[in-house]
Each structure stands twice: as C-alpha cells, then as structure tokens.
C-alpha cells in the first residue's frame, strides 16, 4: 500500500486490492499518510487457495471498477 501512496503523491492514479478484513485498516492507513481518497477494490479473501482461472473470474467482476478508478478517479 505504501507504493500506492507514493505513486498517488506523484500524481499517478492507483487502485489497491484489499480483502474485507483489512479494508478499514487500509483506509485508516491511507488517511494517516495524507491520501484519504485512496481507491480500494475489495476482493474475497479466499483467493490464495484458488486456481488462476477462479481468481480471473473474480477479478473480471471488478474490472470495470478498477478501470473507472484509474481513469476517472474518486
């Protein structure tokens, strides 16, 4: 996440993937680092035990959100 904060500080838009259990902590961390509008996409936390195909199917669901966040902003 620090990479996202550093890139955003340089004007490079980012999207950070986060699992539900860490979303609020990630938001708090972003606020503490001065980037309260850092964009997050929540992904299921079971991705570590899935195949590449299963992960790709889940990412496909949020793909438009990622593109919008990177091109349109918050």
pTM of the model: 0.76
Question: Measuring CA to CA, which residue among 55, 51, 35 is closest to residue 43?
Answer: 55
Q: What is the DSSP letter of 72?
A: T
* pLDDT at site 73: 59
What DSSP line would sit under 10-49, residue for residue?
TT----EEE-GGGHHHHHHHHHHTT-TT--EEE--TTGGG
* pLDDT at site 65: 86
Residues of the chain below pLDDT 50: none
* pLDDT at site 38: 94
Please report the sign of the dihedral spanned by the C-alpha atoms of residue 20, residue 25, residue 26, residue 27.
positive
Q: Note whether 47 and 69 are within 8 A (CB).
A: no
């Amino acid at each position: 996440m620090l990479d996202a904060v550093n890139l955003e500080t340089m004007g490079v838009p980012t999207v950070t993937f986060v699992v539900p259990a860490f979303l609020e902590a990630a938001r708090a961390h972003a606020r503490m680092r001065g980037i309260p509008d850092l964009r997050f996409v929540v992904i299921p936390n079971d991705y570590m035990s899935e195949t590449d195909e299963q992960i790709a199917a889940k990412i496909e669901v949020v793909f438009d959100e990622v593109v919008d966040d990177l091109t349109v902003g918050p």
